[in-house]
Copies of this chain bind each other. A is one copy, B any other.
Amino acid sequence: MKLTFTEENYLKAIYKLLEQSGKPASTNDIAGILQTSAASVTDMVKKLAEKGLVDYEKYKGTRLNEEGKNHATLLIRKHRLWEVFLMHSLKFRWDEVHDIAEQLEHVQSEKLIDELDRFLGFPKYDPHGDPIPDKNGRYTFRHQIPLSQLEKNKKGLVVGVKEHSRSFLNHLDNLNLKISSRIEILDINEYDDLIEIRIDDNQREKISRKVADNLFVQNT
Contacts and interface: CB of A to CB of B under 8 A. Distances in A.
A115 B100 contact: no
Interface string A84-100: 00100111100010011
A175 interface: no
A100 B91 contact: no
Contact of A108 (B90, B103, B109): B103
B119 A109 contact: no
A103 B92 contact: no
A91 B119 CA distance: 9
A104 B108 CA distance: 10
A104 B107 CA distance: 7
Contact of A115 (B90, B107, B108, B112): B90
Contact of A103 (B90, B96, B107): B107
Classify chain A: how many residues form its interface, as a range: 10 to 19
Contacts of A107: 100, 103-104, 107
B90 A100 contact: no
At the interface, is chain A mostly helix, strand, loop or mixed?
helix
Contacts of A90: 112, 115-116, 119
Nearest to A115: B90
Contacts of A100: 107, 109, 112
Contacts of A104: 104, 107
Interface in A106-132: 107-109, 111-112, 115-116, 119
Contact of A86 (B89, B91, B108, B112): B112
B115 A92 contact: yes
A96 B111 CA distance: 10
A119 B89 contact: yes
A63 to B, nearest CB: 30
A107 B5 CA distance: 13
Contacts of A91: 115
Interface of A: 86, 89-92, 96, 99-100, 103-104, 107-109, 111-112, 115-116, 119
14 contacts: A89-B89, A90-B115, A90-B116, A90-B119, A91-B115, A92-B111, A92-B115, A99-B109, A100-B109, A100-B112, A103-B107, A103-B108, A104-B104, A104-B107
